[in-house]
Chains A and B, each alone.
Chain A
Amino acid sequence: MTGLLAIFIAIMRRDLRVAMRQRSDLLNPILFLLVVITLFPLGVGPGPDVLSRIAPGVIWVSAILSALLGLERIFRDDFRDGALEQMLLLPVAVEWSVLAKITVHWLLTALPLLVLAPLFALLLNLTPSAWGTLWVTLLLGTPVISCVGAIGVALTVSLNKGGALLSLLLLPLLIPLLIFATAAVEASATGLSPAGPLALMAAIMVLTVVLSPYAVHAALRVSVN
């Protein structure tokens, strides 16, 4: 068990260190998110009531799109320099290594998003009573984006031009997440209880975190062979 934990932590530390040496890669998705959110008030008009009505959807759609930008980093560089094959040869179940990489991806992309979420809510004039719910939906939903995204990247990593294909594969799978997240935020914005959609999101989160490493493993075996 200690060996497993040691390898899990070693992979996390390595991935974090690699990411820290390419900081612009980390910053760009979150800047992209900020710019997209700035575009909406300009596009649909800055009326406060219009903005507060579309805010949950806009924040969530932008979050998903910006997550897609940085997603390929999970496996792409490791695939190119051969580190991925070494990871598959480690003396632990590949699922654990995959989970470590997914965790790092979540730390690097979702944490900034969670920190900045109140700013986005403020910019889009979201009803203050819904801020907490928005934050909880992001907390529950971003691991799902990282996990499902890892499956997509693992499937397309050996392709040279996987970018557009990756969006085509992943966006349909993320639609349920978007539906429940916006439903929860809208419920609490109108004074209703968001418990139902939040419970469903939590269930989806637990299922994907537990099951997706197996799918990623199968997909990597196909891509690396």
Chain B
Amino acid sequence: MWRWLHPYAKPEATYRLNQKMLPWFAVPGIVVLAVATIWGLAFAPADYQQGDSYRIIFTHVPAAILSMGLYMTMATAALIALVWQIRTAEWAILAIAPVGAVFTFISLFTGAVWGQPMWGTWWVWDARLTSQLILLFLYLGVMALYAAFEDERTGAKAAGILALIGVVNIPIIHYSVYWWNTLHQQSTITKVITRFEKPSMAPEMLWPLLLNILGFALIAGTLVILRLNNQILQREVRRPWAQAILSGAIPASQAANTGAANTEERG
């Protein structure tokens, strides 16, 4: 496995891999998200209790799941950056953090919009909401700490340590609805996967929701790939391979096939 992974410590190789993967994330992402959103908003049946208001889950649940998933991805990148000192992993921390922060914000915002008519309040200090808010602060803290250092490698390592410490919060968010009596309801989907129970949701609603989660994941992947590639090009702007791509001598899509010549370049 290491022999397979090791080439991607080189920014150029990661850039090429990203360019190859980008269409596989972007195109299905846009299609799936469009189909699932229209399905969820227009064709899925209305809820017998909540009417049409429930449809916000088609945005709320995927955003919340991805906010935690992206955090774990960022923490994994931080661990790799700290243990194996790989620069691309350091840039990945900065590539992921703002995307995760936006997803966290979307989940909090849609939750508030739904809570106003359903719970009669925009915000309650229950465990799920509070821990999700802490997640947003953690993302912002990682970004602020990274930006505070003049030397970006030191900043990346410091931000990485903070990201790893913040992992404590992830199980708290997930189990908060079981550990405390929260106003927020318990999970509907996880139990299907982890305990093979029947979902407490009609299949006509479940399928567009699952599709939306897939769509959100693909879009998150697209955004992270774009941000990471931008980071790589910015940091490597003086390298010949980056200048070749930036000057348009090699179209980025073909760069994958031609760039084997300057593999001796080291960072």
Contact = CB atoms under 8 A, between A and B. Distances in A.
Interface of A: 151, 155-156, 158-159, 162, 165, 168-169, 171-173, 175-176, 179, 215, 218-219, 222-223, 225
B144 interface: yes
A219 B161 CA distance: 7
Interface in B67-92: 82
A211 to B, nearest CB: 9
Nearest to A169: B141
A172 B140 CA distance: 11
Contacts of A218: 82, 161
B154 A223 contact: yes
Contacts of A175: 130, 134
Contacts of B130: 175, 179
A172 B141 contact: yes
- Chain A interface SS verdict (over half): helix
Task: Identify the 4 closest CB pairs spanning chains A and B, nearest first.
Answer: A172-B137, A222-B157, A169-B141, A155-B158
Among A151, A162, A172, chain B packs the most CB atoms within 10 A around the CB of A172
A151 B245 CA distance: 42
Given A168-B140, A169-B141, A225 B154 contact: yes
B145 A156 contact: yes
Contacts of A176: 172
Contacts of A173: 134, 165-166
Given A165-B148, A168-B140, A215 B154 contact: no
Interface residues of B, number: 20
Contacts of A159: 148-149
A158 B154 contact: yes
A168 B141 contact: yes
A173 B137 CA distance: 9
B161 A156 contact: no
B30 interface: no
Given A158-B154, A179-B130, A218-B82, A169 B161 contact: no
Contacts of B172: 176
Nearest to B141: A169
B22 interface: no
Contact of B138 (A156, A172, A219): A172
B49 to A, nearest CB: 31
A156 to B, nearest CB: 7
Contacts of B138: 172
B165 A156 contact: no
Contacts of B144: 165, 168-169
B141 A215 contact: no
B161 A155 contact: yes
Contacts of A215: 161, 164-165
Given A168-B140, A172-B141, A162 B158 contact: no
Contacts of B148: 156, 159, 162, 165
Nearest to B164: A215
Interface in B129-173: 130, 134, 137-138, 140-141, 144-145, 148-149, 154, 157-158, 161-162, 164-166, 172
B145 A165 contact: yes
Contacts of A158: 149, 154
Given A162-B148, A168-B144, A222 B137 contact: no
Contact of A222 (B161, B165, B166): B161
8 contacts: A155-B145, A165-B145, A169-B141, A169-B144, A169-B145, A169-B162, A171-B137, A173-B166
